[in-house]
């Protein structure tokens, strides 16, 4: 169908976001794929494929560190919530200068964009 108000899409490079962005091509002026919009990287390295229970069982010291300070805890070979905030800050600043932008990202990124409290569970 015809779209009355075209907009620009900024999308994460992760597959779910790319698929969502592709479905909006007809209504967007253009789509930009930004790696900085990808979800927090917690699955790199030794944590890849682990549930929180697995993580607690296999790496009790790191699990305790995470429980003590979730915001600053950096997953081995991954990133912390603090890292994510630093990564997204330039995007947020650029958004403030733009209009008609639809951002397709991930849950924790959305919390940061809307300044909602981040659940670090």
Backbone φ and ψ for 79, nearest 5 degrees, come out as -135, 165
Task: For residue 61, name the pLDDT band (cuts at 50, 70, 90).
Answer: very high
The three-class DSSP label of residue 2 is: coil
| 2 or 95, higher pLDDT | 95
Question: Is the predicted pLDDT of residue 45 greater than 70, yes or no?
Answer: no
For the chain, list the domains and their CATH numbers: 1-41+79-120 (3.40.50.1240), 42-78 (no CATH)
For residues 34-57, average pLDDT: 80
Burial of 63 (0-12, 13-18, 19+ CB in 10 A): middle
Q: What is the mean pLDDT of the chain?
A: 82
Question: Is the predicted pLDDT of residue 53 greater than 90, yes or no?
Answer: yes
How far apart CA 9 and CA 21 sit, in angstroms, is 7
Residues 6+ apart with CB under 8 A from 40: 78, 79, 81, 83, 84, 106, 108, 109
Question: Is the predicted pLDDT of residue 116 greater than 70, yes or no?
Answer: no
pTM above 0.85, yes or no: no
């Amino acid at each position: 169908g015809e779209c009355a108000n075209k907009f620009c899409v900024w999308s994460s490079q992760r597959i779910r976001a790319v698929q969502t962005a592709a479905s909006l091509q007809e209504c967007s002026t253009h789509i930009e794929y930004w790696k900085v919009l990808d979800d927090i990287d917690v699955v790199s390295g030794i944590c890849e494929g682990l549930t929180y229970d697995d993580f607690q069982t296999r790496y009790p010291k790191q699990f305790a560190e995470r429980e003590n300070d979730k915001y600053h805890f950096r997953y081995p070979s991954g990133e912390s919530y603090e890292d994510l905030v630093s990564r997204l800050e330039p995007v947020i600043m650029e958004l403030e200068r733009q209009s008609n932008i639809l951002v397709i990202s991930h849950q924790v990124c959305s919390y940061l964009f809307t300044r909602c409290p981040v659940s670090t569970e």
